Chain A
Amino acid sequence: MKLIFNKTRRIVSTASLVLALSASCVFPNLASASTPKDSLVVGWQFDDIITLDTAEIFEFSGSEIAGNTYDRLIGFDPNDVSKIFGVAAESWTVSKDGKTFTFKMRKGVTFSSGNKMTAEDAAFSLQRAVILDKSPAFILTQFGFNEDNVKDKIKAVDAHTLTIETDKAYAPTFVLYCLTATVASIVDKTEVMKHEADGDMGFAWLRTNYAGSGPYKIEQWKPSEIVVLSANKNYWAGAPEMKNVFIRHIAESSVQQLLLEKGDIDIARNLDTEQLKSLAGSTDVKLLKKGKGSLYYLSMNMKNPILAKPKVQEALKYLIDYKGLEETVWAGRGQVQQAFLPKGFLGALEDQPFSLDVEKAKALLAEAGYPNGFDIELIVRNKSIRIDTAKSIQTTFAKAGINVKLIPMDGKQVLTTYRARKHQLFFGSWGPDYQDPHTNADTFAKNLDNSDDAKSKPVAWRNAYEPKQMTKDTLAALLEPDSNKRANMYLAIQKAHQKSAPFAFIMQEQEVAGIRENVDGYVLGPSFDTNYYKDVVKK
């Protein structure tokens, strides 16, 4: 028996030795961590990208890729959004009646195909977005464009002049900000139409291909795996120093942290609160923070008779520990904001009238007829920061006798329930579609039809909130040409909304990126399409 054991042991040992030796031949120097000197490597969760066509992109990650690879007519300063400047357009004028915008195109802008950009490309791109009518098309069609009239309303007068004629005299900044959105990116007409199939204006092709003129061009997109960008050597504002940007889909934030610390990636984009804390003292990694437009809020469905009561709504707003959440759960990743416009937007209200006040909430609940509280359900997406915030809400609501049943769901499931008005309480986020205040006013403070089969279903509708006066005020603010007056109009709408709407705005997201110490020039803007790689340098 001893002999058997020895022989068996020898076989096992030999097998292990062979494996170990083969491994040791391969392992040395393989894990040497450093990214190429002329390339930027980013770790990011970008599995939301479903298309590369700028007429269809409406996801955060897709917008960021487009923001770095396509030019739009105009742009704004990420550090001061009130500064609007020309990009593909050099200058612009607005007609006296406020309806016609004339853009003079910049000369010397070249697409990655080598084709020169003209006003015809710009007109085609905007017309195409309207005709294709994908998710973000409303950003343009809200100016009265449709499939039938868009070629008359948006046209190239000559190779360097583009005119856009809106149906009403909107606030000029509203029109201009909408033209900074991803959907208004300029595509290479010749290249796109070369790939047209069955009159689709190149849609099937552009969903997975590239036809732009930005500082980077898209070399490769493997869904949920990698995006490879390469520098556009002919970029009109100068070629970027990084020859390539490799964006890897790293789903686990703890893995992102490890890769960043080891130097296998230069930038980590999805670090959790705990990881940010542990990186705070690092000498190899620095943290870059920027307030984003995304707002996290609790909404109360007024189809529920309890939540329809104004006193109950007010009580719930006093049962949230805003400061506590900012300091613990959000620690560095959010700032309290209690109005529907994010800080940084024209007319954003920064008042914070609500704080955790259990006694006041109890009194309000008693007035509403619920001195002992009630049972209620809260739906929330199963992401850590959302769940943690919802748990905090559950805890503080319980102090006034409100028994919250948390229902965590997958993202799409939450939205399905929310969109069908089948929730009671909802905790989630909203990100602006463009930089103008109308984007949020339109969804939170306007509801033209509260019936179940309404044609328009903004967030106000989803919560059965029908503010008639606020709807009128929102529409009026849209047409106010004077910026100061317009800002005051939005301030007034927000104050009324803050007081009476079934929404408790809690936090404005702050994006934090962990960056290797030797990397400079990465820009985090207020929106995802203003997160720029073009100025990145490595020391």
Chain B
Amino acid sequence: MSVSPSKDGFIAVFFSFYKKKAKPLIHFFSMLAMTFLGLLLLTFVIGRLMPIDPVIAVIGDKAPEELYQKTYKEMGLDEPIVMQFIYYLGDVLQGDLGTSVRTANLVTDDILNYFPATLELATLATVFGILLGVPIGVLAAVKQNKWQDYLVRFFGLIGHSAPIFWLAMLGIVVFYQHLDWVAAPEGRLSVMYEYTLPKVTNMVLVDTIIAGNWDAFKDAFAHIILPASLLSYYSIAYLSRMTRSFMLDQLKQEYIITARVKGVSEMTIIWRHALGNAWVPLITVIALTYATLLEGSVLTEIVFSWPGLGRYITDALLAADMNAVLGGTIVVGLVFILLNLTSDLLYKVFDPRAK
């Protein structure tokens, strides 16, 4: 029995499509699924191995033993840990992340509430980081081993080594207590706007703009500016060091010498040619810095009473609130994957060789 040419052609086209397009996609998604599975399994096992009784988080310390045993069974803790994980996975695949025992809310709702707070803080911090970190990194590279370079490196060293808690308290004392430049470290908004502002994105800077409430926007900005600046200090410190390093590499390249010989202005050489090429590795660094900030900065969130994801996950972990911990882990995993994908795409934009 012979295969008709058209059918044969279809199979050939199919295999060609599979090899070129579908196979990489299937490979990508199966890697993604395995990464998530591994991430969830690891978090689940760590959560269960912690010496914290999850039943106590639900019923407290004083509940009678009968209630303890009843709740223990209701939570499925009498099942083997593997089965507990399989049940959880089944729920996740159906889009059910469960209910948090600490907040009595659906974990999905909690994440939609807490993640935007972290998102706007991290985004602002990263924007500040890029705006200041990259130029001073360039300056340090151009002025290698001069006082400007030492100053930038010293600034970077402090940014890396000073405890964030101490810096945050110092910032509050200076800019809030003495200078009155920023709003109180009490959260995202003053009480007068707290439950009057319509929620659209749950990012208050954005929601105040959508509502056209400029007083509330100013208030929100005055609340975010200090924690965002403090977090950005770390980004600035890191990005300036990395920019310096990448720029030094570029400035030694032959094409720079050629450009100088051809009489291209130093400004163009530095900002267009050298920095243009330094951006390629910098994108990965920026993406990773941003991703780290998006996990939430627990100490900053505590000091500024900022209701972010980092504090949510940490509190959940300490209360053995596994649904919340795993829900948060999924978000963090997604953030890393999305930012990696974005940086891959940007690579192609900035580096013609990658196209």
Chain A residues proximal to chain B, CB less than 8 Å: 1, 3-5, 7-9, 11-12, 15-16, 19, 23, 26-27, 30-33, 35-36, 39, 41, 43, 47, 50-52, 58-59, 133-135, 137-138, 207-208, 219-220, 222-226, 228, 244, 246, 248-252, 254-255, 258-259, 261-262, 264-265, 410-413, 415-417, 419-420, 433, 443, 454-457
Contact = CB atoms under 8 A, between A and B. Distances in A.
A264 B62 contact: no
B311 A224 contact: yes
Contact of B101 (A5, A50, A219): A50
B53 A412 contact: yes
A19 B105 CA distance: 39
- The main secondary structure of chain A at its interface with chain B is mixed
Interface in B305-324: 305, 307, 311-312, 315, 318-320
Given A3-B267, A262-B176, A433-B62, 13 more contacts: A19-B128, A26-B221, A31-B180, A50-B58, A52-B104, A222-B113, A226-B195, A248-B305, A254-B169, A259-B185, A261-B177, A413-B51, A420-B53
A416 B311 contact: no
B56 A419 contact: yes
B192 A415 contact: no
Contacts of A208: 104-105
Contacts of A265: 184, 186
Contact of B52 (A16, A207, A410): A410
A48 to B, nearest CB: 9
Nearest to B270: A4
A416 B218 contact: no
B102 interface: yes
Contact of B191 (A246, A262, A415): A246
A272 to B, nearest CB: 14
Enumerate the 8 nearest inter-chain pairs by beta-carbon distance, A residue then B residue, closest first.
A30-B222, A223-B103, A416-B53, A264-B184, A207-B104, A135-B63, A31-B180, A246-B191
A255 B138 contact: no
24 contacts: A8-B138, A15-B131, A23-B181, A27-B181, A30-B222, A31-B183, A58-B62, A59-B60, A246-B194, A249-B305, A258-B184, A261-B177, A264-B186, A265-B186, A412-B318, A412-B319, A413-B52, A416-B51, A416-B52, A419-B53, A420-B53, A455-B65, A455-B66, A456-B65
Contact of A8 (B64, B132, B142, B186): B142
Contacts of A52: 104
Contact of A27 (B57, B60, B110, B182): B182
Nearest to A245: B191
Given A41-B191, A250-B305, A30 B182 contact: yes
Contacts of B138: 8
Contact of A12 (B103, B135, B187): B135
Contacts of B270: 4, 8
A419 B64 contact: no
B120 interface: no
A251 B303 CA distance: 7
B66 A31 contact: no
B132 A15 contact: yes
Nearest to B50: A413
A135 B52 contact: no
A246 B186 CA distance: 12
Contact of A50 (B70, B102, B135, B194): B102
Contact of A252 (B182, B218, B303): B303
Nearest to A139: B62
Given A26-B221, A30-B182, A255-B303, A226 B187 contact: yes
B302 interface: yes
Interface in B174-202: 176-177, 180-187, 191-192, 194-195
B303 A47 contact: no
Contact of B218 (A26, A41, A246, A455): A26
A32 B267 CA distance: 44
B267 A4 contact: yes
A412 B222 contact: no
B139 A12 contact: yes
A223 B172 CA distance: 24
A147 B200 CA distance: 44
Nearest to B318: A410
Contacts of B143: 5
A416 B53 CA distance: 5
A226 B194 contact: yes
B186 A30 contact: no
A416 B318 CA distance: 12
Given A226-B194, A254-B169, A412-B52, A259 B136 contact: no
A12 B128 CA distance: 13
B274 to A, nearest CB: 11
Question: Among A47, A207, A255, which residue has the most Cβ atoms of chain B within 10 A?
Answer: A255
Question: Among B195, B270, B315, which residue has the most Cβ atoms of chain A within 10 A?
Answer: B195
A134 B169 contact: no
B256 to A, nearest CB: 13
A47 B183 contact: no
Contact of A251 (B302, B312, B319): B302
Contacts of A454: 65
B266 interface: yes
B315 A224 contact: yes
Contact of B222 (A31, A133, A135, A244): A31
A417 B56 CA distance: 11
Contacts of B254: none
B266 A259 contact: no
Interface string B110-132: 10010000000000000010011
A413 B61 CA distance: 11
Nearest to B135: A12
Contact of B57 (A9, A51, A244, A412): A412
B257 interface: no
Question: Among B60, B139, B169, B225, which residue has the most Cβ atoms of chain A within 10 A?
Answer: B60
B104 A51 contact: yes
Contacts of A11: 135
A220 B195 CA distance: 8
B82 interface: no
Nearest to A244: B191
Question: Among A9, A47, A252, which residue has the most Cβ atoms of chain B within 10 A?
Answer: A252
A222 B113 CA distance: 9
A43 B186 contact: yes
B303 A135 contact: no
A351 to B, nearest CB: 27
Contacts of A248: 186-187, 191, 305
A7 B191 contact: no
Given A50-B101, A135-B62, A1 B266 contact: yes
A224 B103 CA distance: 9
Contacts of A16: 132
B195 A26 contact: no
A481 B228 CA distance: 63
B249 to A, nearest CB: 18
B171 to A, nearest CB: 12
B67 interface: yes
A225 B128 CA distance: 26
Nearest to A11: B135
Nearest to A33: B184
Nearest to B188: A225
A220 B173 CA distance: 31
